Amino acid sequence: MSEPVESRDWSTTTTADLSLITRIIPHRYPFLLIDKVRDIELNKGAVGIKNVTFNEPHFQGHFPGAPIMPGVTIIEAMAQTSGVLIGLSLDLVDKNPLVYFMSIDKAKFRRKVVPGDVLELGVTVLRGSTKIWKMEGRATVNGEMAAEAEFMAMIDLGQKG
């Protein structure tokens, strides 16, 4: 028998550390791409932080001798930041939601992201409901635009296993 989940009001939460992130989204190593989420405004926006290190598995092949974070992983990091924001907005902590991409639009890549960079992943809600969310994301390094995109996702609370 599982222990009852502690009920909590998340409406005043403005940051999420790794412990809270993993209670909201299912991603784990090697695919957990955010280290922290800050500036959380429920149903509005948040900023994810990704400390880019050479130890990440994608750098072995992208590219040997010239490591560059793949653009799709930057967009995935934006989506994971959005997942944390949505999870807190819908009170999904410890409820094991899955979030699926529905679309990615207007993706643009402006700057290489390399080991040693601190990637800031600003996400803004364009539309949100119980199941479908449309977001805008902007990834920056030291205030310089690295990538941007709009994306839509579906929240699935169905039984897994």
CATH at 23: 3.10.129.10
Residue numbers of the domain that contains 105 = 18-156
Q: State yes or no: cis peptide before 63, omega within 30 of 0.
A: yes
Per-residue pLDDT at 1: 46
Distance of alpha carbon 30 from its chain centroid, rounded?
A: 14
pLDDT of 158: 74
Please say if the pLDDT value at position 4 is more than 70: no
Q: Are 105 and 150 in contact (CB under 8 A)?
A: yes
96: left (phi over 0), alpha (psi -120 to 50) or beta: left
Residue 100: inside a domain: yes
CA nearest 81: which of 24, 147, 1?
24
3-state DSSP call for residue 59?
Answer: helix
Residue 105 lies in a domain: yes
Tokens representing 18? Answer: 């790794």
Domain count of the fold of the chain? 1
- Looking at the domain assignment, is residue 10 inside a domain? no
Catalytic annotation present for 27: no
Residue of 22, 62, 71, 122 marked catalytic: 62
Residue 27 lies in a domain: yes
> pTM above the 0.85 mark?
yes
Specify if 24 maps to a domain. yes
- Specify if 125 maps to a domain: yes
Note whether residue 140 is domain-resident.
yes
Examine residue 4 and state whether it is found in any structural domain, yes or no: no
Percent of the chain with pLDDT over 70: 94
Strand partners, 152: 103, 134
